[in-house]
Chain A
Amino acid sequence: MINFAADLQDDLGLKYIQNFYPFQMDILVYKDKVKVALEAYLSIENLPSEVDVDFPVFLIPKDKVFNAIEFLKKDPSLSLSFLTTMFGIHYPDHLGQEFALVYQLHNMKTNERVRIRTVMAKDDLVMPSITPIFAGANWMEREAFDFYGFTFTGHPNLARILNMDEMNYHPMRKEYRLEDEGRSDKDDKYFGR
């Protein structure tokens, strides 16, 4: 789930770490502003939110993501009208919330950015497509479909993009062993997990 900024300080013990990114008051204030606006528009109480290094992050229920992004784009006081990027993540260990989608929006006039996260269960990967809001989301959603298997309803052409059409699996899911089964020296435990 959401990693709070405080987590960064956990179990580090590295002596040279300074307060390189001072906790930015502007972003905190901006986060509260967006939070209040989103809560009022989506009628959600206590919308989970945090400031992650230099981004305000909002955890939005998956059925309200489309409305939230449309609101953030069209609201004149926020006008987050540029979709920087979007992509999927797979957390096989988070039961009931195995998949996540991240959207990053940007207001170029005021130079403010927002990150939106949503989580979903592995048997319910259907999301409304945001191509009606951002034309540029077309290929980003195709990429998320290609690599993770999200289904975007209302997408004009939800086909695989980087992998070949005949492929019958979604390669970025953390379900596949990368190495030869017989090898013991490349076990996951050697990668710190």
Chain B
Amino acid sequence: MSYLKDTGDIATKEYKDYSTLNLGPTHPATHGIFQNVLTMDGERIVDAKQTVGYIHRAFEKIAERKNYSQITVLTDRLNYCSAPINNLAWHMTVEKLIQCEVPKRAQYLRVIIMELARIADHIICDTVIAVDTGALTGFTYVFQWRELIYEIYEEICGARLTTNIGHVGGLERDFTPTAWAKLEKFLDGFPKVLAEFEKLVTRNRIFMDRTLGVGPISAERALDYSFTGPNLRAAGVDYDVRVAFPYSSYEDFTFDIPIGESGDTYDRFMVRMEEMKQSVSIIQQAKAKMPDGPFHADVPDFYLPSKEDVYSKMEALIYHFKIVMGETKVPKGEIYHSVEAGNGELGYYVISDGGRAPYRLHMRRPCFIYYQAYPEMIKGGLLSDAILTMSSMNVIAGELDA
């Protein structure tokens, strides 16, 4: 490819020399493996050609040979900034397939975990937008609270990033007293830190100049491109799966769905900002209303028994063996289940033919669907705005490439 490329129509005297700029695949400003071949007119972007698939790991194909409990670890690696949402979404999909009702306590505990994951996801996105505009303070300061969220995950499931949290039928264990104490510490401290971060950034002259009107998309175009999640809400459409198709008892909680107006970077930032506050409120409500009872359903064919039972009871040993070896019978059927993940509607479409692995698993990955609007959003803008647009769309390479 030549450095200078001749494009444009000579006859209409709009002939120009455009330069080609290779943004990515491993550019430090793109926060992931994305390649964009930009056609530039000076510093203005004329066109962008995307290449995706650099970290494609064939999850949908692998899932056709894995039994249902083994697929959870694949979902970790979709949006790794909020892995618990993906894990629990998968468990809920399987529960829908086997028609298993999860006890209220497990549902509430799951809500707490998913909202923590949403906060962790939005912390990354919002502080990175601030970093890209030059404010590193928020990134280093607010990230301490993401660390605390990861410690809470660790208390619940033992892992931090790729969590593999929960089981089909519930959670692997109830929250420990340490987990509750850490959650209490988080609920106490995080809103104050978030308020400080907000004070630092949202009315900051430099930040507003860099983000207002940058990378906008109208509600019509966003819907046409099948946007979901904060990016769609920033454009002014109040679609949230938690409200539209409530799962895991979200109908029990009161929360607002923040929406923007112009769908630009500033609106996307503000929508995520407000969603974090709403998530804190949901966690507080779930904690206050936490019902007593078991933390998992009585589904011995799918719920892994505790190790003490495996070593002392025959049934538990049999079920343990069956689950681990993937010998459990799963009903035939086709199920689509979607949840509101950090980036939008994450859906799993499972076709079961009665075998121990799904016949077909399709993942509706929100990033993959909305990232295709990126060239349209950055056209005519500056290169530095394109970087900001990408970080405010929160494109996660793992989810994009599956």
**Which of B98, B237, B370 has the most A CB atoms < 10 Å from its CB?**
B98
> In the assembly, what is the distance between CA of A84 and CA of B348, in Å?
12
Partner of B333, one of A53, A83, A111, A193: A53
Interface of A is mostly: loop
**Which of A18, A55, A84, A138 has the most B CB atoms < 10 Å from its CB?**
A84
Total A-B contacts with CB atoms under 8 angstroms apart = 128
Contact with B along A69-84 (1 / 0, CB 8 A): 0000000000001111
Quick check: A178 and B100 within 8 Å, CB to CB? no
- Using a CB–CB distance below 8 Å, which chain B residues touch chain A? 52-53, 56, 58, 60-61, 64-65, 96, 98-101, 221, 223-227, 237, 239, 244-245, 297-299, 301, 329, 331-336, 338, 345, 347, 349, 351, 353-357, 359-360, 362, 364, 368-373, 401-402
Quick check: B345 and A191 within 8 Å, CB to CB? no
A140 within 8 A of B: yes
For the complex of A and B, list the 9 residue pairs with the smallest distance between their C-beta atoms, beginning with the closest: A192-B355, A136-B226, A162-B53, A85-B364, A162-B56, A136-B225, A87-B362, A20-B99, A135-B224
- Closest-CB distance, A59 to chain B (whole angstroms): 13
Residues of B within 8 A of A12 (CB): 329, 331
A134 within 8 A of B: yes
> In the assembly, what is the distance between CA of A23 and CA of B347, in Å?
22
Binds B, one of A3-11, A31-39, A41-49, A120-128: A3-11
Residues of A within 8 A of B359 (CB): 193
Quick check: B362 and A7 within 8 Å, CB to CB? no
> In the assembly, what is the distance between CA of A82 and CA of B329, in Å?
35
Which A residues, 83 to 124, have Cβ-Cβ distances below 8 Å to chain B? 83-85, 87, 89, 102, 104, 108, 111, 115
Task: Say whether, besides A53-B333, A171-B61, A16 and B225 are in contact (CB < 8 Å).
Answer: no
Quick check: B53 and A163 within 8 Å, CB to CB? yes
Which A residues, 14 to 64, have Cβ-Cβ distances below 8 Å to chain B? 14, 16-18, 20-21, 52-55
Residues of B within 8 A of A18 (CB): 99, 101
Residues of A within 8 A of B371 (CB): 139
> In the assembly, what is the distance between CA of A139 and CA of B345, in Å?
17
- Closest-CB distance, B302 to chain A (whole angstroms): 9
**Closest residue of A by beta carbon distance from B222:** A136
Quick check: A139 and B351 within 8 Å, CB to CB? no
> In the assembly, what is the distance between CA of A80 and CA of B301, in Å?
39
A158 within 8 A of B: no
Quick check: B356 and A191 within 8 Å, CB to CB? yes
Quick check: B60 and A3 within 8 Å, CB to CB? no
The contact sample of 27 A-B pairs, CB cut-off 8 A, is A8-B332, A12-B331, A14-B98, A14-B329, A16-B100, A16-B299, A20-B101, A53-B333, A53-B335, A82-B226, A83-B226, A84-B338, A84-B347, A89-B351, A89-B360, A102-B362, A135-B373, A136-B369, A138-B372, A161-B53, A162-B53, A163-B53, A163-B56, A164-B53, A171-B61, A191-B357, A193-B354
> In the assembly, what is the distance between CA of A85 and CA of B331, in Å?
24
Quick check: B362 and A85 within 8 Å, CB to CB? yes
Task: Say whether, besides A8-B332, A191-B355, A84 and B364 are in contact (CB < 8 Å).
Answer: yes
Partner of B334, one of A52, A82, A139, A178: A52
Contact with B along A158-187 (1 / 0, CB 8 A): 001111100000011010001000000000
**Closest residue of B by beta carbon distance from A89:** B360
Partner of A111, one of B221, B223, B244: B244
> In the assembly, what is the distance between CA of A136 and CA of B372, in Å?
7
Residues of A within 8 A of B372 (CB): 135-136, 138-139
> In the assembly, what is the distance between CA of A143 and CA of B61, in Å?
13
Residues of B within 8 A of A52 (CB): 333-334
Residues of A within 8 A of B347 (CB): 84-85
